[in-house]
Structure 1
Amino acid sequence: MHTSTSTTTTVTAAVTVTAALLLAAASGCTAGGDTTKPTTNTSNTRAAERGTSAKPSPNPKGPRAFGGSFAHTTDGATMAVTALRYEQGNFHFRRSADQEFGTTGYTWAVVEMKSCLKNGFAVVTRNSWVLAYADGARIKPSSVTYDDFPRPEYPRMATVKAGTCVRGKTVFAVPAKQRPLRVLYTSTTPENPAEWSVPKG
């Protein structure tokens, strides 16, 4: 009688353990009890299923390469701005940068840029463009202009109508032995700045 009771108890225990294991597997539990599931990006998953990738942001974070545009909206007007190229030390104007500003070791640099108004009404100015250096220094465009400066010049200030663009060159007086890290367009929000990397010379 004692043996029969022991056998029944053993079978019952085995059934109980088996049921517990099956229940754990069905609920997705692991040996460590971790039931957390990895999160997934639904839009990327659906895009992958269609064999396509998710659309990139129109204004990706970080500096762009020259030629890449940046779109920003102010007071309902949307402007696309682009830094096209940077040159330094290749210009021999009537007056040197040192002669003009009473400095030592400065030279002229030129940035070519373009602004296109998508809609609305806006005023553009060359003073929105700035050169940023590794030491934190920032240099604004030259306050003077001469007939032998590169043409066409980006305007000091101009009204732009929807569907039209302004393109030109702006001169900067810069340290001859340094190159800026970036060209900045400062008429944007600090959280989403417009900036372009300057290639090493």
Structure 2
Amino acid sequence: MHTRTAALTGALLVVATATACSGGSAKPSPTVTVTKTVTAAPGTEDAKTSSGVLKMGMKKSVNDDANDVHITVRAVEYQQPYKGPQPQKPEDFQGGDIWATASVKVCNIRGASISVSPTPWSLAYPDGTSIESTGLSGGDMPKPEFPMDKPVKAGRCAAGMIAYPVPSGKKPERIVYAPDGADPIEWAVIQP
């Protein structure tokens, strides 16, 4: 694309120079500058990192024609530690010393009603370990919570935060959505 623009600019300069020189007067030759800006909004499939993992905030379409399920899923944001009102510190058996949250959204585009839950969502670490959702809800857990076993009709969405008890000295690499019987979908966790 740059070659075509440069060639076009060069051709316009030659024409402008030839026109300016043919008059015989000492007028300064005009210059022509051609600038082309191309901006493309990424689609749901265009916003992947080099490893094929989606960028945070991008949505992914999931279509299961056999079961008449057509949804989009999105990991919107990851916070570690969670910056809102702090729930009670995780218990030792939960494996972490602070709470982190993944803000996620699932939309039922068309077809049959679906049921959503935090269970398919997990955190994946560079060393191969993962942290699953605790399934805890209510009380002082971060709000708004992603619903547990909530039916979602066609044309509606479910969104909220899923809390994870994480080790404070370790950051996940990806948020993973892996419902039973489907290929996992992953989003890169970008840490400042």
Instruction: Please state which band the TM-score falls in when normalised by the shorter chain.
Output: 0.5 to 0.7
Quick one: which of 124, 134, 153 aligns to 1:142? 134
Aligned partner letter, 1:115: V
Change (3 A) 1:104 1:174: closer
Residue in 1 aligned with 2:106? 115
Deviations 1:138-181 (A, max 9, x none): 11112323422221110111101000000111100111101100
Aligned counterpart in structure 2 of residue 196 of structure 1, from 165, 169, 187 = 187
User: Which runs of 5 or more structure 1 residues have no equivalent in the other structure?
Assistant: 1-55
Higher helix share: 1
Looking at CA atoms only, which structure, 1 or 2, has the larger radius of gyration?
1
- In the comparison of the two structures, how many residue pairs are matched? 143
Partner residue in 1 for 2:175 = 183
Residue type at the aligned position of 1:116: C
The answer to whether the 8 A contact 2:123-2:176 is kept is: yes
Deviates more, 1:153-162 or 1:138-147: 138-147
TM-score (norm 2): 0.66
Q: For residues 105 and 128 of structure 1, what CA distance do their matches in structure 2 show? A: 19
Q: Given that residues 118 and 162 in structure 2 are in contact (C-alpha distance below 8 angstroms), is that contact kept between their aligned partners in structure 1?
A: yes
**What's the C-alpha RMSD, in Å, of the aligned pairs?**
2.4
Which amino acid is the alignment partner of residue 106 of structure 1? D
Q: Where in structure 2 are there 5+ consecutive unaligned residues?
A: 1-41
Matched residues in 1 for 2:158 and 2:170: separation? 29
2:144 alignment counterpart: 152
Indicate the residue corresponding to 2:53 in structure 1: 63
Alpha-carbon distance between aligned partners in 1 of 2:151 and 2:120, rounded to the nearest angstrom? 14
Which stretches of structure 1, 4 residues or more, deviate above 4 A after TM superposition? Answer: none
Normalising by the residue count of structure 1, what TM-score does the alignment of the two structures yield?
0.64
| Identity score, percent | 30
Distance 1:136 1:164, change over 3 A: same
1:7-22 alignment, distance < 5 Å: none
**Pairs within 5 Å for 1:77-92:** 77-91=69-83
SS in 1 for 2:119: helix
The CA deviation string for residues 39-74 of structure 1, in whole angstroms up to 9 with x for no partner, is xxxxxxxxxxxxxxxxx9854561111210011123
Matched, 1:164 2:153: no
- Does the 8 A contact of 2:96 with 2:165 survive in 1? no
Offset, 1:79: 0.8
Offset of residue 82 of structure 1? 0.5
Correspondence for 1:129: 121
Q: Answer yes or no: is the 8 Å Cα contact 2:124–2:130 preserved in 1.
A: yes
